Amino acid sequence: MDEKVKGEIIKSGNIVLSGFMGSGKTTVGRRLAAALDMQFVDMDLYIEKKTGMTVKEIFAEYGEPHFRALETETVKELAQSNHFVIATGGGTLMQPQNVEGFHQGGGTIYYLDVPLAALQERLKNDKRRPLLQTPDRRAVIERLLNERRPKYLASADVVVDAGAPTVVVVERICALRGEPIEKAKRKKPGNTSEKERPQKKRFRRRRRKKGASPGTPQENS
């Protein structure tokens, strides 16, 4: 599997990582943000902090359409900046308005392409993703990947072979952007976005006033 550049790589805009669940968007994104001195945002975590609910809880209480609407709101917010490495959710770029939103904001979409067998192995013990909580997990992964992959490919500006170790994937993206490969070897995690920091601090202070110490199950829900 080779890297394919299908659209323009805009170095001054956001780096948007696309791909199926388990494709490594968060892991690659953190390391890539560190390498390029950019801020990292995981969209699922961003939504969880904003709503005070986990993705699983949002799905259970309000349904998938509500979560998808939250994703679209988040895309609009993040597209207003140009210094983020963004890990999208597995279904974020299935919505044309989200693809358009990132592109209008000057973002470049990188699809992390991982073989089916590797995804099934990575996700075999997953307990977090609502769509995978089924006895027939391997078949569900195959069906969803077959449905989504054509859309991932269609929306991507760059297709990256992401079946390799994280550092190799980061090196490939750096090379495509004309960045020194040595940057990919930095191991510190990427910065949390400034948009996330204030909310996180207020959240902690509010919990402490109620008498909950850091690390309680309530705070980590």
String of b and e for 6-20 (b: at least 16 CB within 10 Å)? eeeebeebbbbbbbb
Q: Which residues are annotated as a binding site for Mg(2+)?
A: 26
Q: Summarize the annotated binding site for ATP as residue ranges.
A: 22-27, 129
Token pair 């069906």 is at which residue?
143
Feature table: binding site: 22-27, 44, 68, 90, 129, 148
Sign of CA dihedral 151, 86, 61, 54: positive
Decide if 113 contacts 160 (C-beta within 8 A): yes
Angle at the Cα of 164 from the Cα atoms of 115 and 161, rounded to 5 degrees: 60
Cβ pair 198, 41 in contact under 8 A: no
215/221 Cα distance (integer angstroms): 10
Please enumerate, by residue number, every residue annotated as part of a binding site for substrate: 44, 68, 90, 148
